[in-house]
């Protein structure tokens, strides 16, 4: 059978997934020119495959794929020399990285032709791969002749392959899973589903690498092999070796042991005990969170246990450059922005202690623990006592009362009705709000909020009233983000210079118990605050203001903060009001985790657009 190139297979797959698609759309998906797309289609049409499929072009619609023999088409796509299908830049980079990790050499001239990309694009892809491999201490080596290959320890190469999460043979997976399941149950070892899958995939990768004569020749550090888990690793190696006809050397068993302790806690088969290392780490994290966000988790036993159980294997993974898969981390960032920000704060403490940063997946799992704690800490909304003023008579007032009780049942304890002329003789202090269908004009001071309403409740009325009843006061975005503390085109060459200018601006506007700049610098020395996309969020080392205040600085030119290049700065002083501080950080977290909003603010430097954007996040 005639074989197709990687690019030709990729193009056919993209057309197949779309009812019709234009050359321009294909070029964008494959990152090539329109001319290259037309050349690819011409080459495919010139092959003698019209009895299997045809590519039709229709004016105004684009290309369509007509498959005449589905079975043969599938074999054509999947049964050639390479099964890789490169539908986008990410899949192309993964394909190149996998080839390198499997010991192949990439040649700039030859492979850019095979991949239908320019030499410049391939060099750019290799640069990204080099940065990714560096996380596993694997070097990308290049020659003057345009060849690129890798150099690294075998165990690090396996961890890098594990992160790529390639599909394993299902039959082999099932055989290995049966063995692992029996041994873990026998020793009462518990793993979550993701760690369990990772552990089995590591074993299958190891079998394949050993059979290809890529063996672990050494472990870079001394290990404590006296514990129960090394014995379990030895047992697994023996059973897997017998089933798959492969020999695990002592170094291979040590590698298996490292993966095992990175997948489960030492305490997983007995009553959980928090180690001194984890205890100290959590204390520092909780202390930093309290001083930064005015949220006190120090007495939250559930959160402490949850994080401790995650931290013990996580620290082992971090020390040995191991990866944990987290397929929902993108959703966690969007839905639990505040919790993810707290997890980033925890990561800043971890980075200080271990000189390594957690990847997004690990941070996402920590965020889930924080989200649960935040949800559990939310107090039930106290129900309000309402006075309903209506000038349309008793029947209308009672009907209105009934409608409001049904609509706002979760927020209202009781509603009492009154006419306008009764107000002057009533004790109004026993009510939380007055809802009125008629304007109230009374000379004397009324000590509670008055909300004018329509007789028939509109959707806008419902949203507005629910928010007021829930929060007890309408929250004003500008109370956090004052235009006088918004600095576009901030000129600074260092973070210290930027912080001095922004601290001065805040101190001119608000009162602080001590020097703001000094407090922020002390906090910066504790841990870096440049953990978001193009953004730093420096803050005080303790509470020095009654209310929460923020100064926003947009740098004219980006600067290196500590580790990352940033161009947007949110300088924050958190107030003592816990509810207010959580509301503020929840709002700002959603913003700084949205890369499009960050880019928009940097590009426009507009206070009005910022307020409009962040107001949408609140709503």
Instruction: Give the chain's domain count.
Output: 6
Establish if 267 belongs to a structural domain: no
User: What's the rounded mean pLDDT across residues 113-135?
Assistant: 87
pLDDT-wise least confident of 33-37, 98-102, 307-311, 394-398: 394-398
The pLDDT of residue 80 is: 44
Q: What is the mean pLDDT of residues 49-71?
A: 89
- Residues 283, 300, single domain; the answer is yes
Cβ–Cβ under 8 Å, residues 266 and 232: no
Q: Which two tokens stand for residue 76?
A: 């054509």
Whether 159 is covered by a domain: the verdict is: no
Do 144 and 188 sit in the same domain of this protein? no
Is 544 inside a domain boundary?
yes
Whole-angstrom Cα distance, residue 291 to residue 298? 12
Q: Which of 279, 340, 344 is nearest to 312 (CA)?
A: 279
For the segment 12-39, the average pLDDT, to the nearest whole number, is 87
Distance between terminal CA atoms of the chain?
A: 59
User: Is 604 found in the same domain as 551?
Assistant: yes
How far is residue 273's CA from residue 279's CA, in Å, rounded to a whole number?
Answer: 10
Measured between alpha carbons, how far is 409 from 415 in angstroms, rounded to an integer? 11
Query: Domain containing 238: what range?
Result: 164-262
In this structure, what CATH number is given to the domain that contains residue 341? 1.10.1790.10
| Chain segment 278-303, per-residue pLDDT in tens | 999 999 999 988 877 778 898 888 89
What single-letter DSSP state applies at residue 539? Answer: B
What is the tens place of the pLDDT at every residue in 537-560?
A: 898 888 888 888 899 999 999 999
Q: CB within 8 A of 381, min separation 6: which ones?
A: 410, 411, 469, 470
Do 609 and 495 lie in one domain? The reply is: yes
User: What pLDDT does 546 receive?
Assistant: 82
Q: 433-436 and 384-389: which strand pairing?
A: parallel
For residues 612 and 481, membership in a common domain is answered with yes
Q: For residue 265, give the nearest of 277, 254, 255 by alpha carbon.
A: 277
> In CATH, what number is assigned to the domain containing residue 541?
3.40.930.10
| 611 and 483 together in one domain | yes
Give the pLDDT band of residue 430 (cuts 50, 70, 90): confident
Identify whether 271 is part of a domain.
Answer: no
CATH of the domain at 438: 3.40.50.2300
For residues 115 and 7, the answer to whether their CB atoms sit within 8 Å is yes
Q: Are residues 611 and 525 in the same domain?
A: yes
> Pairing relation of β-strands 433-436 and 450-452?
parallel
Is the same domain home to 510 and 561?
Answer: yes
Q: Is residue 361 assigned to a domain? A: yes
In which band, very low, low, confident or very high, does the pLDDT at 71 lie, cut at 50, 70 and 90?
confident
Measured distance CA(237)–CA(230) in Å, rounded: 10
Q: Is residue 206 part of a domain?
A: yes
Which helix (H) or strand (E) segment holds residue 147: the answer is strand 147-151
Q: Which of 140-144, 221-225, 237-241, 544-548 shows the lowest mean pLDDT across its residues?
A: 221-225
In this structure, what token pair is assigned to residue 392?
């349309």
Helix extents (H) in 453-594 = 459-471, 495-509, 516-526, 578-592
Residues 6+ apart with CB under 8 A from 484: 505, 509
pLDDT at 411: 77
Mean predicted confidence (pLDDT) in 82-96: 71
CATH number of the domain to which 43 belongs: 1.10.10.10
- Rounded to whole angstroms, how far apart are CA atoms 468 and 451? 9
Residue 270 has pLDDT above 70, yes or no: no
Whole-angstrom distance, CA of residue 433 vs CA of residue 210: 74
Evaluate whether residue 574 is within a structural domain: yes
Please determine, for residue 368, whether its predicted confidence score (pLDDT) is greater than 80: yes
Cβ–Cβ < 8 Å for 85, 30: no
Q: Helix or strand or coil: residue 542?
A: coil
Domain assignment present for 270: no
The rounded distance, in Å, linking the Cα atoms of 114 and 20 is 26
- Nearest one of 191, 306, 221, 313 to 261, comparing CA atoms: 313
Residue of 32, 35, 29, 34 lying closest to 13 (CA atoms): 29
> Of 470, 485, 505, which one is at a domain's C-terminal end?
470
Mean pLDDT of 83-100: 77
Q: Crossing angle for the helix pair 228-244 and 250-261, nearest 10 degrees?
A: 120
Q: What is the pLDDT of residue 474?
A: 37
CA angle (483 as vertex; 480, 484 as ends), nearest 5: 105
101 shares its domain with 228? no
pLDDT tens string 371-400: 998 887 765 556 788 888 887 777 888 888
At which of 26, 52, 78 does a domain end?
Answer: 78
Beta bridge partners of 106: 148
- pTM surpassing 0.75? no
Domain of 124, CATH number, reads: 1.10.10
Residues 449, 570 within the same domain: no
Give the end of a domain, one of 152, 184, 205.
152
Task: Tell me: do 483 and 591 sit in the same domain.
Answer: yes
Compare 322 and 122 and report the one with higher pLDDT: 122
CA 132 – CA 139 distance, rounded (Å): 10
**Is residue 426 a contact partner of residue 483, using CB atoms and an 8 Å limit?**
no
pLDDT category of residue 482 using cuts at 50, 70 and 90: confident
- With a cut of 60, say whether residue 473 has pLDDT above it: no
Q: Identify whether residues 294 and 190 lie together within a single domain.
A: no
């Amino acid at each position: 059978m005639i074989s197709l190139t990687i690019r030709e297979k990729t193009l056919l797959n993209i057309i197949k997934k779309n009812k019709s698609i234009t050359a321009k759309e294909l070029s964008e998906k494959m990152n090539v020119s329109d001319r290259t797309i037309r050349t690819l289609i011409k080459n495919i049409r010139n092959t003698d495959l019209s009895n299997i499929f045809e590519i039709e072009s229709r004016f105004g619609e684009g290309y369509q794929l007509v498959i005449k023999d589905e079975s043969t088409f599938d074999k054509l796509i999947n049964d050639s020399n390479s099964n890789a299908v490169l539908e986008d830049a990410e899949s192309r980079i993964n394909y190149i990285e996998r080839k390198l990790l499997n010991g192949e050499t990439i040649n700039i001239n030859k492979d850019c032709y095979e991949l239908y990309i320019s030499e410049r694009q391939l060099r750019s892809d290799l640069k990204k791969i080099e940065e990714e491999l560096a996380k596993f201490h694997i070097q990308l080596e290049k020659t003057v002749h345009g060849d690129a290959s890798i150099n690294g320890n075998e165990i690090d190469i396996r961890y890098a392959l594990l992160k790529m999460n390639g599909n394993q043979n299902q039959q082999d997976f099932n055989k290995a899973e049966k063995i692992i399941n029996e041994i873990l149950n026998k020793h009462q070892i518990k793993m979550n589903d993701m760690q369990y899958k990772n552990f089995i995939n590591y074993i299958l990768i190891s079998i394949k690498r050993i059979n290809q004569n890529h063996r672990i020749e050494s472990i870079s550090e001394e290990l404590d092999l006296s514990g129960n888990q090394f014995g379990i690793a030895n047992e697994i190696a023996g059973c897997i070796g017998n089933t798959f006809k492969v020999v695990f050397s002592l170094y291979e068993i040590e590698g298996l042991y490292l993966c095992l302790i990175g997948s489960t806690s030492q305490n997983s088969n007995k009553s959980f005990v928090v180690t001194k290392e984890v205890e100290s780490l959590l204390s520092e994290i909780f202390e930093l969170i309290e001083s930064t966000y005015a949220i006190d988790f120090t007495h939250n036993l559930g959160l402490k246990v949850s994080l401790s159980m995650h931290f013990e294997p996580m620290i082992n993974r971090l020390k040995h450059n191991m990866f944990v898969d987290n397929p929902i981390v993108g959703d966690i960032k969007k839905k639990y922005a505040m919790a993810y920000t707290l997890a980033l704060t925890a990561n800043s403490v971890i980075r200080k202690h271990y000189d390594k940063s957690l990847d997004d997946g690990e941070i996402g799992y920590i965020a889930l623990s924080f989200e649960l704690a935040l949800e559990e800490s939310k107090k039930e909304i106290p129900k309000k006592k309402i006075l309903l003023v209506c000038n349309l008579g008793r029947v209308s007032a009672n009907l209105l009362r009934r409608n409001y009780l049904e609509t706002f049942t979760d927020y209202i304890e009781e509603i009492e009705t009154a006419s306008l002329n009764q107000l002057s003789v009533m004790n109004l202090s026993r009510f939380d709000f007055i809802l009125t269908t008629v304007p109230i004009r009374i000379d004397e001071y009324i000590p509670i909020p008055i909300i004018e309403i329509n007789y028939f409740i509109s959707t806008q009325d419902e949203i507005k009233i629910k928010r007021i009843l829930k929060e007890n006061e309408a929250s004003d975005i500008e109370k956090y983000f004052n235009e006088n503390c918004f600095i576009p085109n901030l000129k600074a060459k260092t973070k210290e210079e930027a912080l001095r200018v922004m601290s001065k601006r805040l101190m001119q506007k608000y009162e602080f118990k001590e020097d703001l700049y000094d407090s922020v610098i002390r906090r910066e020395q504790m841990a870096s605050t440049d953990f978001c996309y193009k953004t730093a969020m420096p803050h005080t080392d303790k509470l020095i203001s009654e209310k929460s205040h923020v100064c926003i600085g947009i740098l004219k030119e980006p600067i290196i903060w500590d580790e990352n290049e940033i161009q947007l700065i949110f300088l924050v002083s958190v107030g003592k009001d816990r509810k207010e501080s959580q509301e503020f950080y929840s709002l700002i977290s959603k913003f700084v985790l949205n890369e499009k909003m960050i880019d928009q603010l940097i590009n426009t430097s507009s206070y009005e657009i910022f307020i409009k954007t962040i107001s949408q996040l609140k709503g």
